[in-house]
Structure formats: structure tokens, C-alpha cells
């Protein structure tokens, strides 16, 4: 790939990159020329993706990490820099939504788990990675938000709250790091075909209702979101920071 979307010579960490949006993103960044650090909680899954990338001619390493643990976030960044000598891009994709309970009945431990992964995780990653990105001459961090950050939805109570807070963290980090050449943005997917919505799509009529209210009359595919992440990670978005890019086929404009 040539032009402003090329990532030749760049090093990118993608968390949660063994399936769904994370996997599609890691693959797209690799196809654009980046050397990719594949990461998720499961070592075997990380190694399987790394092997797939290697077979396709892409340079990648596997570094498992639990993003809810600050010491593992630091080790992930340190391992990437130790192997490649630099870090240019961080995609904070890993997230959790283990419960669909309303706030009234939500267990405190479920609240803590979601906040730990979805909000504290990207913060820990940013603290470890942004100094390295600045040291490399500047680059980008892209976080995964959600349309539930600004549209209330059944089954997404604490998840949506965590993503709304994440959006503000994007703006704050963009302010703090812009002077050091680091851009921080987020992508907010709408309904996207991933494991996270598997139980919902099994409900009769649920998917039809989503499609009916979406102007493009389809739900998103992981590659649709990955393309937006590639844009924000590349030089094509060199004057974009502190923003949340919605990728939802127009789903939210009718709510």
C-alpha cells in the first residue's frame, strides 16, 4: 500500500486481536505494511494468529496480555519495544461486556470487571505506550468506543457508561499528548457482526429490527470498523485528534 495510508516501517500493537474487530484490524494494519503485535489473554490464540500472518507474508509477534492488569499492559508495551525497537501505533480494542443487567440489579463485581477492562485497561496501555510512541517521533493511539456511549440501550448499561468515559479520556489524552506528536482518537461501532452480539442475533426479530432502523440496511462487518481504524492510525489522519468516529451505517441518526 502506498500513499498516506501506508504503514511501512511502523510497529503496531492491537489488543484483543485474535477475533472480531481486533483480528480484522491487525490484518488490515499488516496489509498496510505494519509490523503487528498480536495480543489477547490466550497465548494459544495469539500464536495461531501470528502463524496465519506469517503464512501470508506479514511480520508479526504474539504477546499475550490481560489489559485489565497494569503490570501486563506495561509488559506488553515493553516486549513490543524490546523486539522491534520502537512503537508507532496502539489500538486499544480489548473490551468486556459479560452481563446485560440493568443498573438497578447490576452486581458490583460485574461493574468492576467492565470498568477494569474497558476504561482502566486503555488508560494503563496509554500510560505505558504513549511515551514510547512520542520517543519514536510521534504516532497514534486508537481506542474502541461504541454507539452505546451516547445512546442508551437495553443490555448495555455499564458497558455504555465505560465507553462514554472512554470518549472523554480520548479528548483528555489528545490534549495532553498533542504537543509531543501523538494523536489519540476513537472509533464507535454500531451493531457489528462479532461474538459480542451472538446471543442477541439469536433472538427472533432482533437483527431484522436493527437493519430496519439502519439507513444502509445492513449491520457492520469487522472490516468496516478496521478500515476506520486504519485511517485514524495512518498519516491520512495526521490532523485529526481527540475525535470519536462513528461507524454504524447511520443506525444512530434514527434513534
- Determine contact, residues 15/65, Cβ cutoff 8 Å: yes
- The residues near 173 (Cβ < 8 Å, ≥ 6 apart) are 126, 130, 141, 184
Annotated catalytic residue within 53, 84, 159, 177: 159
**Cβ neighbours, 10 Å, residue 57:** 8
Q: Give whole-number Cα distances, 120 to 20, 56, 184, in Å.
A: 21, 34, 16
**Residue 84: active-site member:** no
Residues in the chain, overall count: 255
Phi-psi region of 219 (alpha: psi -120 to 50; beta: other; left: phi over 0): beta
Half-sphere exposure of 59 (CA within 13 A, CB side): 13
What positions carry a catalytic annotation? Answer: 159
Amino acid at each position: 500500500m502506498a500513499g498516506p495510508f501506508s504503514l511501512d516501517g511502523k510497529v503496531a500493537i492491537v489488543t484483543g486481536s485474535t477475533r472480531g474487530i481486533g483480528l480484522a484490524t491487525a490484518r488490515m494494519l499488516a496489509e498496510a505494511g505494519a509490523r503487528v503485535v498480536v495480543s489477547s489473554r490466550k497465548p494459544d490464540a495469539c500464536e495461531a494468529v501470528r502463524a496465519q500472518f506469517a503464512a501470508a507474508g506479514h511480520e508479526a509477534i504474539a504477546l499475550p496480555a490481560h489489559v485489565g492488569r497494569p503490570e501486563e499492559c506495561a509488559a506488553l508495551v515493553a516486549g513490543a519495544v524490546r523486539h522491534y525497537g520502537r512503537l508507532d501505533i496502539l489500538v486499544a480494542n480489548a473490551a468486556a461486556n459479560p452481563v446485560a443487567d440493568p443498573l438497578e440489579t447490576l452486581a458490583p463485581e460485574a461493574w468492576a470487571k467492565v470498568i477494569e477492562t474497558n476504561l482502566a485497561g486503555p488508560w494503563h496501555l496509554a500510560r505505558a505506550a504513549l511515551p514510547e510512541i512520542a520517543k519514536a517521533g510521534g504516532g497514534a493511539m486508537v481506542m474502541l468506543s461504541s454507539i452505546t456511549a451516547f445512546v442508551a440501550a437495553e443490555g448495555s448499561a455499564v458497558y455504555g457508561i465505560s465507553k462514554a468515559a472512554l470518549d472523554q479520556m480520548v479528548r483528555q489524552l489528545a490534549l495532553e499528548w498533542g504537543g509531543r506528536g501523538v494523536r489519540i482518537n476513537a472509533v464507535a461501532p454500531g451493531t457489528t457482526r462479532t461474538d459480542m452480539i451472538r446471543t442477541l442475533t439469536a433472538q427472533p426479530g432482533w437483527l431484522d429490527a436493527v437493519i430496519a432502523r439502519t439507513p444502509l440496511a445492513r449491520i457492520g462487518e469487522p472490516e468496516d470498523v478496521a478500515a476506520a481504524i486504519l485511517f485514524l492510525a495512518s498519516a491520512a489522519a495526521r490532523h485529526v485528534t481527540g475525535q470519536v468516529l462513528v461507524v454504524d451505517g447511520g443506525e444512530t441518526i434514527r434513534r
